[in-house]
Structure 1
Amino acid sequence: MAIPKPSSYLRFLNLIDALDRINPGKKLDAIEENLLDKIVNCAHSKTPLLVGDLISLSDLGSQATLHGRLKNLSAMGYIKMASNADGRKKEVVPTKLALKRYEEISKCLEKAVKSA
């Protein structure tokens, strides 16, 4: 029986795994990935995103869990929290490091599709 050629998605997963091995200290868990996805999407669409908006995402975890994950993302250099116009709320924005991560993921996806 012939072994089928891996699908584009499997090649993509392998490339992402290799990317994570290059930066072992920067591996994100599923909750952090979901939060960062949301943050980068909002930044891309120029929609302000506040800490309160993120910690109210109960489908991802409790407020304490989400707050802890935001602190982790900040400590790893993926996000910055800046005071918004009235100074009482913190807006969450991705850093250059986060945007570079998404560029690398995009390259992995393109490479996986090209080798199909």
Structure 2
Amino acid sequence: MNVINNTKRSSDVYLRFLQLADAIRGLPSLPPLDPLEEKILAVIARAGTQHERLCVRDMMAKEQLGAPATIHTRLKSMRAKGWIMLSDTEDARRKQIELTRGAMRYFDHLSKCMMEAANSSV
């Protein structure tokens, strides 16, 4: 019985987080992302936290995200929407992908949602 209660509590926290996260996705700060763009955003964010350099060519080589042309189109869309920016590297042919301040604020909001969800279950 105790295992079931702990499982229910854990799932309640996650479901509450999803509910809160959906609410911030509707905020007018940045245009919405489609599911593939959200995946790409997560890849970029993880690379940034690990201090890894990530260029457009690196992203296009990630087979789990789809065809290179599709990834390139999504990167252009995300840049136009204000989620990412491209910065120069020592090689003028390569562009580094970075999150914008707006994207970082989005992750800050998600973090707050996670904390609120965890605190609301205790």
State whether TM-score is above 0.5.
yes
Q: For residue 96 of structure 2, give the secondary structure of its aligned residue in structure 1.
A: strand
State which of 107, 111, 116 in structure 2 corresponds to 1:102. Answer: 107
Report the Cα distance in structure 2 between the residues aligned to 1:88 and 1:21, rounded to whole angstroms: 36
Alignment pair present for 1:91 and 2:89 = no
Q: Which moved more, 1:15-24 or 1:65-74?
A: 15-24
Match of 1:76 in 2: 81
State which of 59, 62, 70 in structure 2 corresponds to 1:65. Answer: 70
Q: Give the CA deviation at 1:29.
A: 1.4
Q: Which runs of 5+ in 2 are unaligned?
A: 1-7
Q: Which runs of 5+ in 1 are unaligned?
A: none
Match of 2:3 in 1: none
Q: Give the CA deviation at 1:64.
A: 1.1
Report the Cα distance in structure 1 between the residues aligned to 2:80 and 2:98, rounded to whole angstroms: 14
Report the Cα distance in structure 2 between the residues aligned to 1:111 and 1:19, rounded to whole angstroms: 13
* Cα offsets for 1:62-99 (capped at 9, x unmatched): 11110111011101111111121121111111111111
Q: Give the CA deviation at 1:20.
A: 1.4
Q: Give the CA deviation at 1:16.
A: 1.0
Report the Cα distance in structure 2 between the residues aligned to 1:79 and 1:25, rounded to whole angstroms: 11
Q: For residue 8 of structure 1, give the secondary structure of its aligned residue in structure 2.
A: helix
- Calculate percent identity across the aligned residue pairs: 34
Query: Are the equivalent residues in 1 in contact too, given 2:30–2:83 (CA < 8 A)?
Result: no
How many residues align? The count is: 113
State which of 50, 55, 63 in structure 1 corresponds to 2:55. Answer: 50
What TM-score results when the alignment is normalised by the length of structure 1?
Answer: 0.89
